[in-house]
Amino acid sequence: MDAAVIAAVIGVVGTVGGSTISAIAGARQGRKAARSDAESLSQQTAKSFQAQLVERFGFKAEKIASHMTVLDVAGNASVSRRWRGIKVQEGHSVSHVSGEFWVTTPGGTISKLPELTGVDGYRKEVSFVPVSRSDNRCRYRVEIAGSLLPSDPPLDFDLEVQYEHCVLMSRKAVDEAYVNEAFKRDYVAFDVEVPIDSLELKIEFPPGTDVTTYPSVFYGWSEHPHSQELARSKSGFEPLPSGGRFVVREPLVGFRYLIYWTFPLTPKGVALA
């Protein structure tokens, strides 16, 4: 199922479920009971829908950690993406896991194709296959020889990619680059395309960089913040001295989770301008 379609379905389920239970609970005990019952049904609906997604995809990952390290004041960076605990459900087989690395920052490019590591010693051959590539985007498959089966142990693998000029390193550069955009900030993100128990998103700037980070969630790939899902997940955000970490339990398929940041008008510490 296409991720955008799944995102639309999630929106419909949440709206219908919330409206129905609010009417029932409101007739019983007023606002407090309505809120409690609505939250309970919302959680049950989300869990039920997530279970349906796992059945639909045939597998899920225990965790994905996507970490960006900004290397220098030119905005060059490396990104590591660690998949952990990929397990296939009974009655299914999985021949490959798909994904994408991309950068849309003006002037940003992928300087080196992603590399696959962390699969030495696995019982089946696991390989990285580029599907399509441009200067700023690489769609790929991680293929499993003979397919991943329910009898196989959980699969772990790591990917790493290098970018050039993927982060704008001053307030002035950001303001000029996104003056005509609806969302006027640089950000690092992960698009959830398969069921995951836990997502960890992290960015680290060079030590001493004066930067303030924030979490957000977009509905699909629209760059329109989704306030309800942000409210559910934002407690997992932690600002770091020169960056931030965003941990999301059971992230929703079809949503984009991100960390964005702002620089001060007058930079301190590392020379950013």
User: Collapsing DSSP states into helix, strand and coil, what is residue 49?
Assistant: helix
Query: Which of the four pLDDT bands, split at 50, 70 and 90, describes residue 28?
Result: very low
Dihedrals phi, psi of 156, to nearest 5 degrees:
-120, 145
Domain spanning 58-262 has what CATH number?
2.60.40
pTM (2 decimals)? Answer: 0.80
Q: Is pLDDT of 101 > 70?
A: yes
> What's the confidence (pLDDT) of residue 217?
97
d(CA 15, CA 190): 25
Name which residue leads in pLDDT, 124 or 219. Answer: 124
Tens digits of residue pLDDT in 241-255 = 999 999 999 999 999
> What's the confidence (pLDDT) of residue 244?
98
How far the first Cα of the chain sits from its last, in Å, is: 44
Tens digits of residue pLDDT in 187-235 = 999 999 999 999 999 999 999 999 999 999 998 878 889 999 999 999 9
CA–CA distances in Å: residue 135 to residues 115, 142, 149, 168: 16, 20, 35, 17
Q: Is pLDDT of 21 > 50?
A: no
Q: Average pLDDT over the chain, rounded to whole? A: 84
Residue 244 and residue 202 in contact, taking contact as beta carbons nearer than 8 Å: yes
H or E element, residue 187: strand 187-191
> What's the confidence (pLDDT) of residue 57?
87
d(CA 28, CA 39): 15
For residue 206, the 8-state DSSP code is: P
CA–CA distances in Å: residue 227 to residues 218, 232, 233: 9, 9, 10
- Residue 94's identity, in one-letter code, is V
Q: What share of the chain is helix, strand, coil (3-state, %, to 5)?
A: 25, 40, 30
For residue 265, the 8-state DSSP code is: S
d(CA 62, CA 254): 17
Tens digits of residue pLDDT in 33-78 = 444 555 455 555 555 666 777 788 899 999 999 999 999 999 999 9
d(CA 152, CA 83): 16
Name which residue leads in pLDDT, 7 or 217. Answer: 217
Tens digits of residue pLDDT in 129-175 = 999 999 999 999 999 999 999 999 999 999 999 999 999 999 999 99
> What's the confidence (pLDDT) of residue 112?
92
Contacts of 120 (CB under 8 A, 6+ apart): none
Stated length of the chain? 273
Domain ranges of the chain: 1-57, 58-262
Residue 173 and residue 137 in contact, taking contact as beta carbons nearer than 8 Å: no
